[in-house]
Amino acid sequence: MEILIVIVLALLVFVLWPEKANKKLTETVTLEPEQDYDRREQDNQAIRDAQLAQEELEVQQERSRRIQQQELSEREAAIAQAERELRFMQDDLIEQANRLSQEEAILQNIRQELENTQEQTAQESRTAKQIAEDIENRQYQLSRHELQIKEQQDELALATERSVQQEQQIKKAQYELELKAEDIARQERELNSTQEELEYRLEQERIERERIEQERLEQERAELERIEQERLEQERVELERIEQERLEQERAELERIEQERLEQERVELERIEQERLEQERVELERIEQERLEQERAELERIEQERLEQERIEAESIPPITEDQIDIVQSTWKMVVPVKDQTADLFYRKLFQMAPEVKALFSGDMKVQGDKLVTSINLVVNSLNNLEHVVPALQEMGKRHVEYGVQPEHYDTVGAALLWTLEQALGDEFTAEAKDAWTTAYGLIAASMVEGAGY
């Protein structure tokens, strides 16, 4: 403001002073001769003063012009600096977004490597189990072969005595059969009682383990989400603090030139950035929600298809024929002499195929094997009148639900049973025998599943 006042005063002096000097020169012509010299000196002095004032005015104008140019250059430099800093902000935001994308890719790679490692470990475990199974099969076949040789030797030694003792053995066998029938009935009652108690305890233990595992998984998930949320919140707070400090420094430096404009730009940038971050967060949440919903729907669809397929397979089980009943009963008689080894082999195969079902059994497995053989023996002998044992099978299936038995376990048990029969019977387990046992077990399993009401 002071510079403008000095410039205006200099212009006034420059315009008015020459007119005054000319007027004085005109008046000096008419003055008397004795005053010419003094007045001429005064006029010359006035002219010199006017020239000095004009020179001073030009110097002031030049200085003002230089000051204005300097201020304009400083203002342009400040504007360029602000533009550079805005570009730096954009580059920082782009770099942060790229870093977040890289971290997500690294996390995805780590998860994939973990899944591959788990798959390799499972494959190695299955290979080791298969080798152990082959060794057990060979040992069992060797022991069975030795047992057959021993039995043949015993039969040759006793061949001469059988003809004499045949009638006594028949009477004794009839008496033993009656005793065994009574003992079987008693054992069945004890078996039912023991199984109910055992199944109840196993179901309680399974429910408790599932609850504990669910709580642990839920706590781990919540802890991971909390840690990730805290990290993101700290990064956001730190970025906001750094951005706030930088903007505050810029605002303080440029306040004298264009304070209001920079303040408006800062507020607008913060609002735009906040809206963008909020939109990205909402979009990520929406995408994650859609992915989880799709996975849940896909799992439900797969489970529904599996249940429908099992129902269709259960409905399509063919009825068993008289020939198949004869085959099942005749082959079972061959297994009875080695029932203990057969039961042990069955449970080992079952636990190998489905390790999770091992938790459903407790106590002495030899006793459990005797119960298994007794149950199979009862069902095999009742195949000619299967409708009489269907209610009992349905009731048994209903109880197995309380023990924790799932629908897919029936297929596993059937496969283990067929494999065990094949190992026990050897060449006697023909294709017809396999079809007969498959049909018989399918009818039994279908009755139990129907009673379970899955």
- Does an H or E element contain 57, and which? helix 36-315
| pLDDT at residue 11, rounded to an integer | 55
From residue 283, give the alpha-carbon distance in Å to each of 280, 287, 290, 450. 5, 6, 10, 47
What pLDDT, in 10s, does the model give residues 34-78? 567 778 887 778 788 778 877 877 888 788 788 878 877 787 777
Tokens 């079902």, residue? 357
Q: Please state which CATH number belongs to domain 320-454.
A: 1.10.490.10
Angle CA(300)–CA(116)–CA(130) in degrees, nearest 5? 90
| pLDDT at residue 21, rounded to an integer | 45
From residue 252, give the alpha-carbon distance in Å to each of 215, 249, 257, 263, 266. 54, 5, 10, 10, 12
| pLDDT at residue 313, rounded to an integer | 52
| pLDDT at residue 433, rounded to an integer | 92
| Rounded Cα–Cα distance for residues 118 and 128 (Å) | 15
So where are the chain's domains?
1-113, 209-316, 320-454
| pLDDT at residue 317, rounded to an integer | 45
| pLDDT at residue 164, rounded to an integer | 66
Letter for the amino acid at 350? L
| Rounded Cα–Cα distance for residues 279 and 198 (Å) | 57
Look at the pTM and tell me if it is higher than 0.85.
no
Phi, psi of 256 (to 5 degrees): -65, -30
| Rounded Cα–Cα distance for residues 343 and 349 (Å) | 10
Point out the residues of the chain with pLDDT beneath 50: 1, 6, 8, 15, 18-32, 314, 316-317
Residue 429 DSSP symbol:
S
